[in-house]
């Protein structure tokens, strides 16, 4: 928490919760990477999490990039993820893109249900009207602009960046709200509302940022983002497994190494081999131990051993 520049647990917990949600969206087993824990600090039990390497990666990517520590961690984990995934992962906003894209899918379901109840006959025409209002171009031109005209089964939303996706999510939510509020009915009236709301969102985006939505850059295919992050998660998991295996090996080897003699001498083959007998021996030795003035190391007489 402190390494990422967060001072208070509630703020950091929100970041972890976003990271958990992102893993769920990617279909990655949450409990394999986020283990709830409890620590005792000053006599009080405090909520905590044990995170895998990949969980640390996703948590950093869901943090506030305005925080210098978070930004540095994001740069590190993105480069690490790219190394394992063998493909470019466009900066930290990829995680936000996944979350917003999922929200749009859910919102489109509720909007289609609302439109159906209001007498929509052609939902595709209704949807296109919303895009036309927001982008001031027909839907096919928008698909060409985003480079997906040759991919008929793919949604243009999959190639939009975080801000553009957020704008479209706002447009869908406002459209549904207007239909419910005004009790609009009929194909033409519904398309008119979709177009009006699209234009309003377009104006708002330009007023706030100085940029129209079609001027925003095309983003990396969101399917590649999912694939890259899932593969990075698998590869980082392998590293965690290897490190755990090394820890076990070290512990096992430590148990296997025989105890050293009480006066271990570096460079002595007998000491290095684990001979438990004293290197110097006893001063009372009559067989020539080093302690008795002789030159015999690790003497095994009754006095030395």
Which helix or strand (DSSP H or E) is residue 41 part of?
Answer: strand 34-41
**114/168 same-domain check:** yes
Domain end residue (candidates: 184, 203, 219):
219
Place of tokens 């704008």: 167
Please check whether residues 104 and 201 belong to one and the same domain. Answer: yes
Q: According to DSSP H, which parts of 118-221 are helical?
A: 123-135, 139-145, 162-182, 187-209
Provide the β-strand partners of residue 48: 37
With 0-12 / 13-18 / 19 or more C-beta atoms within 10 angstroms meaning exposed / middle / buried, residue 270 is middle
Q: Is the dihedral of CA 262, 263, 265, 268 positive or negative?
A: negative
**Per the confidence metrics, is the pTM higher than 0.75?**
no
CA 264-269-275 angle, to 5 degrees, is 55
Tell me what pLDDT residue 48 has.
82
Write down which residue in 166, 187, 219 finishes a domain.
219
Indicate whether 61 and 77 sit together in one domain: yes
Instruction: Kindly state whether residues 199 and 269 are assigned to the same domain.
Output: no
Structure tokens, 101: 């894209």
The pair of structure tokens assigned to 269 is 């083959």
pLDDT at residue 129, as a whole number: 95
Residue listed under structure tokens 């824990």: 37
In a domain, 249, yes or no: no
The answer on 168 and 103 residing in a single domain is yes
Same domain, 275 and 214: no
Specify if 301 maps to a domain. yes
Indicate whether 143 belongs to any domain. Answer: yes
Whether 275 is in a domain gets the answer yes
Specify the pLDDT at position 215: 95
Same domain, 213 and 285: no
Do 28 and 145 share a domain, yes or no?
no
Within-domain flag for 211: yes
My answer on whether 80 and 110 are in the same domain is: no
Total number of domains in the chain: 3
Identify the pLDDT of residue 78: 67
Residue 77 lies in a domain: yes
Q: Are 157 and 165 in contact (CB under 8 A)?
A: yes
Q: Report the DSSP beta bridge partners of residue 50.
A: 35
Q: Is residue 257 part of a domain?
A: no
SS3 190: helix
- Residue 84 CA, distance from chain mean position: 14
Range of the domain at 158: 93-219
Q: Do 51 and 159 sit in the same domain of this protein?
A: no
Q: Are residues 110 and 145 in the same domain?
A: yes
Q: Mean pLDDT of residues grouped by 10 in the chain (305 residues)?
A: 77 84 79 80 78 80 78 72 54 75 92 94 94 93 91 91 94 95 94 96 94 93 81 68 58 54 73 74 84 84 77
SS3 of 1, please? Answer: coil
Tell which of 194, 219, 244 closes a domain. 219
The answer as to whether 237 is a domain residue is no
Annotate 125-152 with b (16+ C-beta within 10 A) or e (fewer). Answer: ebbbbbbbbbbeeebeebbebbebeeee
Looking at residue 250, its pLDDT comes to 57
Contacts of 192 by beta carbon, 8 Å cutoff, 6+ apart: 129
């Amino acid at each position: 928490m402190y390494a990422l520049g967060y001072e208070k647990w509630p703020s950091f917990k929100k970041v972890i919760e976003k990271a958990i949600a992102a893993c769920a969206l990617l279909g990655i087993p949450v409990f394999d990477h986020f283990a709830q824990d409890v620590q005792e600090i000053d006599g009080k039990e405090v909520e905590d999490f044990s995170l895998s390497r990949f969980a640390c990666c996703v948590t950093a990517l869901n943090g506030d990039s305005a925080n210098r520590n978070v930004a540095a961690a994001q740069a590190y984990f993105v480069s690490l993820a790219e190394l394992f995934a063998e493909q470019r992962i466009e900066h930290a906003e990829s995680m936000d893109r996944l979350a917003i894209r999922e929200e749009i899918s859910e919102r489109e379901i509720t909007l289609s249900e609302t439109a159906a109840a209001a007498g929509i006959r052609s939902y595709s025409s209704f949807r296109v009207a919303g895009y036309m209002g927001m982008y001031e171009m027909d839907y096919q031109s928008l698909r060409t602009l985003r480079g997906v005209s040759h991919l008929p089964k793919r949604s243009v939303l999959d190639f939009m960046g975080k801000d553009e996706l957020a704008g479209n999510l706002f447009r869908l939510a406002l459209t549904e709200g207007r239909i419910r509020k005004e009790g609009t009915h009929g194909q033409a009236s519904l398309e008119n509302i979709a177009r009006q709301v699209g234009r309003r969102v377009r104006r708002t985006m330009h007023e706030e940022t100085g940029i129209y939505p079609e001027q925003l850059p095309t983003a990396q295919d969101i399917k590649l983002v999912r694939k890259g992050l899932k593969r990075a998660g698998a590869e980082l998991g392998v590293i965690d497994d290897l490190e755990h295996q090394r820890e076990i090996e070290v512990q096992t080897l430590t148990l296997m190494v025989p105890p050293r003699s009480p006066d271990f001498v570096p460079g002595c083959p007998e000491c290095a081999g684990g001979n438990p007998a004293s290197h110097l021996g006893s001063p009372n030795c009559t067989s020539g131990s080093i302690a008795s003035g002789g030159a015999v190391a690790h003497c095994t007489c009754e006095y030395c051993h």
